[in-house]
Amino acid sequence: MDALEILSDLENVFPYFQPIFSADEQSVIAYEVLGRYKSEGNIISLGTFFQDDQIPDEYKFEVDLIIVKMALEKALKLDEEISIFLNRNADLLMYGHGEPFLQELLAFEKKGFMLNRIVLEISDRNYTGDLDQFDHLLQYYRTYGIKIAIARIDSESSYFERLGQLEPDILKINLQALKSTSTGINFNDVLFTLSLLARKIGATLLFENIEMSYQLQFAWKNGGRYYQGYYLQPPTAEFISREILKDRLKEKFHDFISYEKKKLEAVYTTAEFFQAKVQEIVMKNKSATYQILFQNLIKELDQIAFRMYVCDEDGFQKSANIFKGKEGWITQSEYIQKNWSWRPYFLENIIKMRNERKGILSDLYSDIDTGETIRTFSFPMNGEEYLFIDISYQYLFQHDQLL
């Protein structure tokens, strides 16, 4: 795309609007503003124009300002509950120390557009300037009620650190990663960490690039409150009815809820199965050695479990590991006296088992040694000893509602 062609033909620069839907209302709660250019009857995205490092910032700012003005002029007619998302990379935001852009927003505030409806979707990717100044500018914008959404940050290594520093109102998650097996393998784990962090800092999750039903289900299941993508509605030159997808989303959410209930019922049933089976074996082997106990457990759980061990309530391992390898079950004595209290939820689960006198089936997680997705059944043998049985991925796969 020729930048000079665009700059000499600014009357053909205009905004498109991609609606953002909410899970709680099943209606449009915001629009993301996207730049478009009409050339020879074709409508072209201005994404590459704004991402081109060879184009001076003043040119980008000029084009962007036209888009923002036109978008906010149209948005004056929208319901006051609907927000407007404006994309800003760090260089563009810092242009003129952020003042020219802010003055334009303040001009629209005088026209009746409250600035708490503005969400700045920012990225400091490839930014080489002073990050402290950039962060101060964001905080300054926030004093006007403007919200901050994080889209992309310069490097994965600094991602979580920057989230902690900026404490955005919204975290935007791109679901393109679900299409790739190379990037999608650990996507669930990263997303789980993100959702915990979002909860800690009071941020909302927005999932973008939803192009298929399973991606919407994934976003819903993983705590997404806001959604956007071509599967829901493509960007258009005009605003749409807020309720355009209400019935469809209600139906979708009902399907998702039914599916999750079935999975939760399967987990509950499995936990009850292990509770009855393990309790019976443990009661019959009250006075037996760990080795004899494990032998009897293996008879019943050979095709289910791949590791067993006993810990005390402080997490110190009292028995060896009994591990099922390619050649069968082996004893790993080197694990005796290792401590596992540092693991998430370990002590919380110990207290829960001690008080309820009942076993717990864990959620899904990746095993440290094998790397496989597993669950663990923990069982209170008595007031001092707790049995842990790791369930193999093969068994979970055969009972896919456990995955």
List pLDDT tens digits, range 270-294: 999 999 999 999 999 999 999 999 9
Ranges of CATH 3.20.20.450 domains, the chain: 3-235
List pLDDT tens digits, range 39-85: 988 999 999 999 888 899 999 999 999 999 999 999 999 999 999 99
HEC profile of 116-137: HHEEEEEECCCCCCCHHHHHHH
Bridge partner residues of 376 (DSSP): 390
In the block, residue with structure tokens 């600035």: 115
Say whether pLDDT at 194 is over 90.
no
Is residue 361 a contact partner of residue 270, using CB atoms and an 8 Å limit?
yes
In the chain, pLDDT over 90 holds for what percent of residues? 77
DSSP at 382: S
Whether this prediction's pTM lies above 0.85 is answered by: yes
What is the rounded CA–CA span in Å between residue 139 and residue 93? 13
The CATH T-level fold of domain 259-402 is: Beta-Lactamase (3.30.450)
Q: Comparing C-alpha atoms, which of 308, 313, 317 is closest to residue 353? A: 313
- Burial bucket for residue 150 (CB in 10 Å: 0-12, 13-18, 19+): buried
The CATH T-level fold of domain 3-235 is: TIM Barrel (3.20.20)
List pLDDT tens digits, range 89-103: 888 899 999 999 999
What is the rounded CA–CA span in Å between residue 369 and residue 3? 53
Q: Comparing C-alpha atoms, which of 29, 45, 47, 49 is closest to residue 37? A: 45
Ranges of CATH 3.30.450.20 domains, the chain: 259-402
Lowest mean pLDDT: which of 51-55, 108-112, 187-191, 357-361? 187-191
In the block, residue with structure tokens 């407007």: 84
